Amino acid sequence: MGKQKNLVIVRSVLEEGLSVTAAATKYGASHQWIYALSVEYGSKEV
């Protein structure tokens, strides 16, 4: 996945409150990938 799509996914979870399950369905990503993105970007300014 591209960096921009990753940012959209992580923002939807961390800032907008979308659940990981809903984000996985909406963006076609795995739960594991979204959790990894959340850890990676969660401590950074996105």
43 class by beta-carbon count within 10 Å (0-12 exposed, 13-18 middle, 19+ buried): exposed
Read off the pLDDT of residues 25-39 as tens digits, 9 standing for 90 and up. Answer: 999 999 999 999 988
Output DSSP code: residue 24.
H
| pLDDT confidence of residue 46 | 46
- Name the pLDDT band for 44 (thresholds 50, 70, 90): low
Residues contacting residue 14 through CB under 8 Å, at least 6 positions apart:
38, 41, 42, 46
| pLDDT confidence of residue 29 | 95
pTM above 0.75, yes or no: yes
| pLDDT confidence of residue 28 | 96
Q: Where are the domains of the chain?
A: 3-42
Contact 14, 35 (CB under 8 A): no
Tell me: pLDDT of 43 over 80.
Answer: no
